[in-house]
Structure 1
Amino acid sequence: MSAVESTTATSRLPETISSRLRLPAIAAPMLRVSGVELVKAACQAGVIGAFPTANPRSHEALDDWLTELDETLSENDAPYCANLIMSRPETQKDIEILLRHRTEMVITSVGSPAPVVPALHEAGVFVLADVATMKHVKKAIEAGVDGLVLLTAGAGGNTGWMNPFAFVRAVRAFYDGPIALAGGMSDGVALRAARELGVDLGYIGTKFIATQESLAEPEYKQMLVDSTMDDVLLTQAFTGMNTSFLLPSIEAAGLDPATLDHNADVASAQAQYGGSAYSDKSGPRRWKDIWSAGHSVSGVSDVPATREIIDQTLREFHGDR
């Protein structure tokens, strides 16, 4: 069976997307982690491969990444998906490059999608928007997005704080469009449960950090293997937003996790880690040295190939553990 719809409920996704998925999932876009090799491996294994447009680090590199994806992936592979971080000043130029490559899917995050939806829709791009509150759900719908990514408690990196069961059901009370769910999804059992809840796509991030194809440093991958969800700290100290980071990486940077949000360490950390994820400031930096992970880190036990994770998740999704 090659398509998700052969064994699951009818999808709210466009058939041009759903028919190419082996598994109803997105390999989440992760700063400094999601590179072209991870995206290719995910798409070829039947999962949407996503990456932040910030990751290539230049517009020329973004163009090169997209060219490689366009030339490598076939029409039967799952689509790749670009993540536009709306707070970045480079976003408009990124969009021009994406449209030139006829990119099929975009996820907007950290800001309103309203400024970019018209141009993306004119080019036929399917637009999802990250949302963490009911207020932002309604604003994204008003902006005309095609679907929502619900950020819930337990997601890695910039995260939400709502219970996923309550959040999905509250949104489904008035919204019948596509929903992707982000937050602590570590296996096919969780993905199947999410589908029963009313979700179309699962957002899986942390397990894909610990893959052979990811851009993460070997030490980062090993820390994921060695950690449990007890090692994940929710803090605003490094980004000004609720963000999940690994305690061991914070401690390795010489900071006290217990006091980050309560004393002068906050001002110091925000000054040191503020600005671009690729800041040239001296000392340890968020994303580069302070590493993120979600609650699903408890499901990371090794560093396999991306396809191995997807194949195993598919078996679990269909009830074969």
Structure 2
Amino acid sequence: MLTPVLRDRLRLPLIAAPMTAVSGPELVIAACRGGVIGSFPAHNARTTEELDAWLTRIAAALDTDGAPVAPNLVVHRSNPRLADDVACLARHRVPLVITSVGSPAAVLGPLRDAGCLVFADVASMRHVDRALALGVDGLVLLTAGAGGQTGWHNPLAFLRAVRRRYDGPLVLAGGIADGAALLAAQVAGADLAYMGTKFIATEESMAGAEYRAALVAATLDDITQTSGPTGLPANLLAGKVDPDAGAGQSTGFRFDVIAGATEVWAAGHSVCGVDAVLGVAELIERTHREYSAAAEAMTRNHIY
């Protein structure tokens, strides 16, 4: 169950997913104004000083009625900015921080002291157990089909497995292509869901015109999974990155690689729902209509 600070400020149970080289202040502001949580990787800002400027700009653009902002923090030991970025987020007292690629143990204290909720990105039951043992405030379930860094479990199976042992906030990441899929995730037990790929193809994203056009033209068959670019399994647009790049190497994840991965075109299975480049407000409005229509169909057909 979501806390009031999150639930009461949302029009849809949705997070505009944090995406490297894609999510910036314009996208976040537009998402929050539309009533969905706006998220972005802290490393999209080139320095901690720029991160501070972004958060100041976002706060100034949003009034108290806007949806919350949720910066994403890579907590891997190779992140040289981690301590400085944590201090920056704590100073701004952001309502929610989403951690990924590692244990949030080192950042829980300072963020909690500043009043921030901390959700942890997890991709396996082992990750779930470790995060819950630390006492995180919620989990983001990274599942098969997520764009960019991806999981391997079926979304519904993973969601149900986690829900059997945890009654706190759950976010489903992977395969949310429209409002009907969003409602399905909620019915299955998620409190929120990520939508990422469709937000790449918006006017406010930092993606280039060629990248956006490629998403509109793509189908499910154009998504390939590779560990080449970052050392972690990732879903990308086929043809943009050689899926065999890095094969046989075991260098593992490095923060400098993901932070500099501006030429990688990430996309998830939800690319099947991308049919045009839209403004964020229009995308949210369309998703709300789809969500409402699916809810009405459930009621009409006595599906509860």
CA contact (8 A) 1:53 1:84 kept: yes
**How far did residue 248 of structure 1 move?**
2.5
Q: Choose which of 284, 289, 292 in structure 2 pairs with 1:315.
A: 289
1:277 to 2:258 alignment: yes
1:193 equivalenced with 2:184 (yes/no): yes
Counterparts of 1:274 and 1:171 in 2: how far apart (Å)? 28
8 Å Cα contact 2:95-2:117 kept in structure 1 = yes
Matched, 1:95 2:76: no
Alignment-derived partner of residue 300 in structure 2: none
- Is structure 2 residue 48 aligned with structure 1 residue 74? no
User: Aligned residue for 1:44?
Assistant: 33
Identity of paired residues, percent?
50
SS at match of 1:51: strand
Gaps of 5+ in 2: 298-304
Aligned to 1:64: 53
Q: 1:170 aligns with which of 161, 164, 167?
A: 161
1:157 aligns with 2:138: no
- Amino acid aligned to 1:52: P
Once the two structures are superposed, what CA deviation does each residue of 1:128-180 show, in whole Å capped at 9, x if it has no partner?
11000000001011111100000011000101010111111111111000000
What secondary structure is seen at the aligned counterpart in 2 of 1:118? helix
In the alignment, is residue 123 of structure 1 matched against residue 123 of structure 2? no
Question: Against the structure 1 CA distance between its residues 115 and 230, is the aligned structure 2 distance closer, same or farther, given a 3 Å change threshold?
Answer: same
Q: Return the offset for 1:274.
A: 8.4
Cα separation, 2, equivalents of 1:96 and 1:136: 25
Is 1:32 aligned to residue 21 of structure 2?
yes
Deviation at 1:234, TM superposition (A): 0.9
Q: Structure 2: how far apart are the matches of 1:180 and 1:274? A: 24
Q: Which residue of 2 aligns with 1:219?
A: 210
**Counterpart residue number, 1:183:** 174
SS in 2 for 1:116: helix
Considering only aligned residues, what root-mean-square deviation do their CA atoms show, in Å?
A: 1.8
Q: 1:134 aligns with which of 107, 110, 125?
A: 125
Report the counterpart of residue 105 of structure 1 in structure 2: 96
Deviation of 1:266 after TM superposition, in Å, equals 2.3
Contact 2:143 2:150 in 1 (8 A): yes
* Corresponding residue pairs, total: 292
1:278 positional shift: 4.5
Deviation at 1:275, TM superposition (A): 3.6
Q: How does 1:258-269 map to 2 (within 5 A)?
A: 260=244, 266=247
Q: Amino acid of the residue matched to residue 131 of structure 1?
A: V
Q: Cα–Cα, structure 1 residues 133 and 288, in superposed 2: closer, same or farther, change >3 Å?
A: same
1:60-96 Cα deviation digits (max 9, x unpaired): 1111101111111111100111100012121110011
Match of 1:296 in 2: 270
Q: Which residue in 1 is equivalent to 2:302? A: none
Question: What amino acid sits opposite 1:150 in the alignment?
Answer: L
Deviation track 1:231-263 (CA, whole Å, cap 9, x = no partner) reads 11111122221110111312xxxx4x4xx17xx
Alpha-carbon offset, residue 123 of structure 1: 1.4
Q: Structure 2 length as normaliser, TM-score?
A: 0.92
2:223 matched residue in structure 1: 232
Rounded to whole Å, the distance in 1 between the matches of 2:123 and 2:248 is: 25
Kindly provide the CA deviation profile for residues 98-131 of structure 1, in whole angstroms up to 9, marking residues without a partner as x: 1111111100000001111111112111111100
Q: 2:137 aligns with which of 137, 146, 149?
A: 146
Does the Cα contact within 8 Å between 1:240 and 1:270 map onto a contact in 2?
yes
TM-score normalized with structure 1 length = 0.87
Compute the displacement of 1:269 (Å).
11
Any conservation in 1 of the 2:20–2:44 contact (CA below 8 Å)? yes
Is 1:114–2:95 an aligned residue pair?
Answer: no
- Secondary structure at 1:291 match in 2: coil
Q: Is the 8 A contact 1:36 1:69 kept in 2?
A: yes
